[in-house]
Amino acid sequence: MSDERIVASGDAEAVKRESARRTRRSFLLGGVAAAAGYGVARWIVNSPDDHRLQSALRKTLNFDAVVNRAVFAERGLAPTYSVSQAKPLRLNGVVGLEDVLPVEGWRLQIAGVANAKSSPFYASDVTAWEYKYAAAVQPNEADHDLKKAPGKSSELNPTGAVDSDAGAALAAHIEALMKARSKKRHEGNAEAGVSKNALDIGTPGLLLSMDELMKLPHVELVTEFKCIEGWSNVTQWGGVRLRDLIDAYPPEKVNGREPRYVYMEAPNGDYYCGYDMAAARHQQSLLVTEMGGEPLKQEHGAPLRLHMPIKYGYKQIKRIGLIAYTDQKPDDYWTKLGYDWYAGL
Ligand SMILES: Nc1nc2c(c(=O)[nH]1)N[C@H]1C(S)=C(S)[C@@H](COP(=O)(O)O)O[C@H]1N2
Ligand SMILES: [Mo]
């Protein structure tokens, strides 16, 4: 692991300039909305559905994304805070995290890499990697109660890395979450559907262990995590820049240029997210291995999750199993359920 510890905070002036710009943008968009008034409301109400939002609303979201990229080109920095301001992050969303996944049983699949064959980490079929889980907890769909899968608890701890206490702790966390949400409709993969970007069996690429990932420069970041549900939390993160991973394992060129997007998926394919290359290469986009100065917990996405402070929480995928470079705008779990693809802040 590298000793180099870099603080990814932007300088205070850059942050100030950025907030001034954002304020101007709010004015502009607010003004447009106010001026448009009744006509816009009719247009929205009468427009057909597009991914569960009326297409007019969808167009507005897409327009906002265009403005966002044109004005900021994803270069704006999210504000940073001191470590003393950081608080523990709540647990919010456990799609794809039903089992405990020790780091030894994990690999990062990378697809679309240039000259993959000449890499020592080359795999002729990255999908053949079998994630080795240590424990299983299964939500009972009927009452949102959680029970350990029978027969599984005695098989806990095959590696010694995760003991049954960790499994029980995760079960308790998930149970608390389900209780808190029991009045809401449960939306899982069954609803979002399988991602169109799921890799075909036989896709070549790289399989990286955590040891390899840890050779990239370590970065610390204290930023605000914002969930679209209306809460936020100043959180301390540690890990490596996604940008550094992309530079270390660069994508195969498409028509002589870099592909436009990065796609990520949790190991079982239940949760997935897409990012444009600018957001992926943003200096604050972090592949997280530590939270609050401690190793990342299972329920927060261990062994590896994404923090991307320029985007809402639903883009910050937990437990990354796959990173794929692609030139087609990738599928996104919450976009399929109606949220904006760009999710920019
Ligand atoms: N694998 C996975 N990643 C996920 C989710 C999820 O359900 N599964 N939920 C997302 C949403 S909506 C939010 S707000 C954040 C919550 O992260 P936290 O539980 O660490 O607070 O994770 C995001 N990443
Ligand atoms: Mo969220």
Note the pLDDT tens digit of each residue in 117-152. Answer: 999 999 999 999 999 998 654 444 333 333 333 333
What pLDDT is attached to residue 69? 56
What pLDDT is attached to residue 192? 83
Domain residue spans in the chain? Answer: 3-46, 72-337
If phi > 0 it is left, if psi is from -120 to 50 it is alpha, else beta; for residue 73 that is left
Contacts (Cβ under 8 Å, ≥6 apart) of 49: 55
Q: Whose CA is closest to 108, among 213, 254, 237, 262?
A: 213
What pLDDT is attached to residue 42? 43
What pLDDT is attached to residue 337? 87
DSSP SS3 for 341 = coil
| CA-97 nearest atom, ligand 1 | 1
Q: Whose CA is nearest to atom 12 of ligand 1?
A: 314
Q: How far is the CA of 8 from the centre of ligand 2 (A)?
A: 24
What pLDDT is attached to residue 313? 95
Ligand 1 site residues, Cβ closer than 6 angstroms: 89-97, 227, 266, 271, 300, 313-314, 316-319
Q: pTM higher than 0.75, yes or no?
A: no
How many CA atoms are closer than 13 Å to the CA of 54, on its beta-carbon side? Answer: 10
Residue 319 in contact with residue 107, Cβ under 8 Å? no
Q: Whose CA is closest to 219, among 264, 171, 283?
A: 283
**Which residues in the chain come in under a pLDDT of 50?**
1-12, 15-16, 18-45, 71, 137-162, 182-188
Q: Which residues surround ligand 2, an ion (CB under 5 A)?
A: 227, 313-314
Q: Which fold has domain 72-337?
A: Sulfite Oxidase; Chain A, domain 2 (3.90.420)
Best of 94, 306, 318 to mutate for ligand 1, by most ligand atoms within 8 A of CB? 318
What pLDDT is attached to residue 136? 55
What pLDDT is attached to residue 28? 44
Q: How far is the CA of 124 from the centre of ligand 2 (A)?
A: 35
**3-state SS of the chain: helix, strand, coil percent to 5?**
35, 25, 45
Q: How far is the CA of 123 from the centre of ligand 2 (A)?
A: 34
Q: How many helices (H) and strands (E) does the chain have?
A: 8, 17
What pLDDT is attached to residue 278? 96
If phi > 0 it is left, if psi is from -120 to 50 it is alpha, else beta; for residue 301 that is left
What pLDDT is attached to residue 163? 52
The ligand minimizing its distance to the Cα of 296 is 1
Round to whole Å and give the CA distance between 340 and 345. 11
